Amino acid sequence: MNSTEILNVTNETTPYEPPFDHTEITLTWIILMPLCVFGIIANFVTIVVIVTSVNLRASTFNYFIVSLCVSDLLSSLISPLHAYRRTWGFIDWQWSDFLCKMFWSIDLWTSFVTSSHVLTFASLRFISLQWPFRFNSISKKHAKVMIASIWIVAFCIGFVPFSIWFGATKRDRTSPLPNSKWPSCTLHIEWLQEFKLFTLICYTLLFFLPISLVILLSIGIAIKVKALRKNRTKLKGRGNDDTSAEKKRRNKENQILLQLALIIASFLLGYVPHSVFQFYTVRVPSLTHQHRVFDWWFGSFEYFALRFSECLNPIFYNIASRKMRQETKNLFKRCLMTSSARIESKTVESSSPNDLRL
């Protein structure tokens, strides 16, 4: 179904006016497709940089960053499905119902994974400062177990129920129920009460609670860093504050604070609007065309913010870590050198004289 057909869909008795026009369709694809491409490339590059770097693999925290990048990469890959369901597939989802279910299941699965990772990341940062000996006992194996557990639990809580509750179906656009304003590929109305309970419990525990705890942990980390610096000043005296060892220690602490602040900022940017919209859209009926338009724009904005935050994450990782920046540069240099070597090799082969003589 093209955009012209969408805008001409009518009900048997009352013409139905979609909550968007050709301009909104174009705008949606213009915004989401660059974010999709950048998100795929940036997250993939970050994964490769960390996995191939011995120095970066030595850090337990980087295991969580790799896992976060995998989550953001999956979200970027399904972005075109969201763009389709909000525009050409709004009235009639003509792709398979399987793709509709996969979009929602993967979307919530990765969302729960991301929120859990950010909370775990902040918790480990706090532990590393407050109880460094306990943190040193956390091995790479422990980190892998924690990461695997997060993915498995998030799959059971998010992927499984959404693969059952969501799907593509025709919506009654004249109904006052919330589903009349939703795209074809959305929650089945018979699961509305279960979804309301789900959002109340799971969104509170897996979005709002982690957001609150991460903010509190960040404040605690900042206070702890300040206290550590004061203690070092008292022990060593103010005259030794500018030693090279102290400068390195302060730089490392500043990187910890910056990295955590940027990850949290990205998390808040993406998941606060997302969580609020999910609570809003299932509880507010669609009574007028203006309600449908507002819901459409609200849903589009929260998804734009979510995808934008995922694109910011790889940038923030490099901004906050000098080692990450250097390893990223090294990866691009190796790629350029390899490409140059291949071009030179082909040039030499094409220009070499033919040894065969007649």
Tell me the average confidence (pLDDT) per consecutive run of 10 residues in the chain, 358 residues long.
Answer: 45 68 94 94 93 88 92 94 94 93 95 91 87 85 93 95 94 82 92 91 89 88 85 66 71 80 86 88 81 91 92 86 88 83 69 48
Q: Where are the alpha helices (DSSP H) in the chain?
A: 3-7, 22-52, 54-57, 60-77, 79-86, 97-130, 132-136, 140-154, 160-165, 192-198, 209-236, 244-281, 289-320, 322-351
Q: Are 162 and 108 in contact (CB under 8 A)?
A: yes
CATH 1.20.1070.10 fits 3-9+17-325, yes or no: yes
Residues 190-209 pLDDT 10s: 999 999 999 889 988 988 89
Residue pair 122/264 in contact (Cβ under 8 Å)? The answer is: yes
Domain ranges of the chain: 3-9+17-325
CA pair distance 317, 32, nearest whole angstrom: 22
Report yes or no: 269 and 127 within 8 Å, Cβ to Cβ.
no
**The total number of residues written for the chain in this structure:** 358
User: Which helix (H) or strand (E) is 185 found in, with range?
Assistant: strand 185-187
- 91 and 6 Cβ atoms separated by less than 8 Å: yes
Query: d(Cα 60, Cα 50) in Å, to the nearest integer?
Result: 11
